[in-house]
Amino acid sequence: MSDQKIFIFDTTLRDGEQVPGCKLNTKEKIEVALALEALGVDIIEAGFPISSPGDFESVSEISKVIKNATVCGLSRAVQKDIEVAGEALRHAKRGRIHTGIGTSDSHIRSKFNSNREEILVRAVQAVKWARNFTDDVEFYAEDAGRTENEYLARVVEAVIGAGATTVNIPDTTGYCLPTQYGEKIAFLRNNVQNIDKAILSCHCHNDLGLATANSIAGAINGARQIECTINGLGERAGNTALEEVVMVFKQHSHLGLYTSIDATQLNPISRLVSDIMRMPVQPNKAIVGANAFSHSSGIHQDGFLKDSQTYEIMRPEEVGAETSKIVLTARSGRSALAYRFKNLGYEFNRNDIDFLYEQFLQLADSLKEVHDSDLKEMAERYLLVRA
Ligand code: KIV
Ligand code: ZN
């Protein structure tokens, strides 16, 4: 069977922007949307139009400038929400309404004071309202991660019957294990009669640090869309990180799944989003963290300098990162020290390095990291004494 495409649905501008402190104005949102389009995302969730006049304007303006990607607006399963989303998407070349309702017993009872049958009716009605505005309707079954599979299958079948072309199975609370989430997708594929008429989508939150693993499990089991954000931004512990899923499929091509993302733009867009949202990226973040291509222990540095593949599964340039770094700390070894001296223009022999290494260790024990300026000073002092 030929490789299958995984559609990338980016929700940085909706779920990501919900993070306290990450709010963007229309101009900033347009800048990010254009960068997302250039990155190659298939669907840009631009906002939640009924939530504020500012968000309505953002979705509307983004709809005017985006040419290739689908622009999506979120709504609840409420007629007015859907009408406002439809209006905000009026100028979109390709517009999608994303509507839905909570389907877990917890949501049905606590949020809606309702029952399963009534929620099913409301779900179908919401999709029908949305279809009055566009043929591209995505339904989300909020808290699907904790929704009983048999009931979820009934909801999915009903909304597809009403015209939903994508059905989102959110693990809203980040509760599922990858095996459970994968089995949920497989269950839907095997038990929903009209499943061939829609794409299943993964929208996994990261409360247990499993968002990426769950999304990948969903895709392996037949989901063909992943909802994700740049740098994994999103409610609470965040969403699935776009950069992670893209590189998982690239690294594991045997899965037969691919995306249309230009991976060389992953680091530049990570920096753009981090700067514009004023939300720093943790240094040890996969793919885009400052330490993602840094080597600091002696054993790793020695192996990396002999062959980068011993400690790197991808090259930094593949993901648009700066070159790999050899960081000098008290855990570094002689080969790293010699390498860094060489980069600074000092060619020392083995005896020189043995001598300098002792000095280096004393300095490194008192500092978090030894910088080029420290090395230059050390080298010049040594050359004076040696002469
Ligand atoms: O996490 C969630 O369930 C959501 C939905 C609105 C799709 O963000
Ligand atoms: Zn979410």
Query: pLDDT digits over 361-371, tens only?
Result: 999 999 999 99
* Res. 205: pLDDT tops 80: yes
Residue with CA nearest ligand 1 atom 1: 172
Cβ 168 under 6 angstroms from ligand 1: yes
Cβ 16 under 6 angstroms from ligand 1: no
Walk me through the domains of the chain, giving residue ranges and CATH numbers. 7-277 (3.20.20.70), 294-386 (no CATH)
In this predicted model, what pLDDT tens digit does every residue of 308-337 receive, in sequence order? 999 999 999 999 999 999 999 999 999 999
Residue with CA nearest ligand 1 atom 8: 15
Task: Give me ligand 1 centre to Cα 225, in Å.
Answer: 14
Which of 74, 140, 181, 233 has most ligand 1 atoms within 8 Å of CB, for mutation?
Answer: 140
Cβ 170 under 6 angstroms from ligand 1: yes
Residue 74, strand partner residues: 98
Cβ 145 under 6 angstroms from ligand 1: no
Buried b (16+ CB within 10 A) or exposed e, 249-275: bbeeeeeebebebebebbbbbbebbbe
Cβ 15 under 6 angstroms from ligand 1: yes
Name the residue among 342, 314, 345 with its Cα closest to residue 326: 342
Task: Give me ligand 1 centre to Cα 334, in Å.
Answer: 51
* Res. 387: pLDDT tops 90: no
In this predicted model, what pLDDT tens digit does every residue of 34-66 receive, in sequence order? 999 999 999 999 999 999 999 999 999 999 999
Residue with CA nearest ligand 1 atom 2: 172
The pLDDT value given to residue 386: 85
The pLDDT value given to residue 7: 98
Cβ 142 under 6 angstroms from ligand 1: yes
In this predicted model, what pLDDT tens digit does every residue of 269-302 receive, in sequence order? 999 999 999 999 999 999 999 999 999 999 999 9
- Per-residue HEC secondary structure of 97-135 comes to EEEEEECCHHHHHHHCCCCHHHHHHHHHHHHHHHHCCCC
Task: Give me ligand 2 centre to Cα 334, in Å.
Answer: 48
Distance CA 200, CA 183 (A): 13
Phi, psi of 282 (to 5 degrees): -60, 140
Cβ 175 under 6 angstroms from ligand 1: no
In this predicted model, what pLDDT tens digit does every residue of 139-148 receive, in sequence order? 999 999 999 9
pLDDT class of 174 with cuts at 50, 70, 90: very high
Task: Give me ligand 1 centre to Cα 383, in Å.
Answer: 63
Ligand nearest to the CA of 233: 2
Within 8 A by CB and 6+ apart from 288, the residues are 231, 243, 266, 267, 270, 271, 281, 319, 321
Task: Give me ligand 2 centre to Cα 311, in Å.
Answer: 34
Residue-level length of the chain: 387
pTM: 0.96
Cβ 12 under 6 angstroms from ligand 1: no
**Average pLDDT score over the chain:** 97
Distance CA 55, CA 10 (A): 16
Distance CA 257, CA 252 (A): 9
- Contact status, residue 314 vs residue 345, Cβ threshold 8 Å: no
Which of 200, 203, 207 has most ligand 1 atoms within 8 Å of CB, for mutation?
Answer: 203
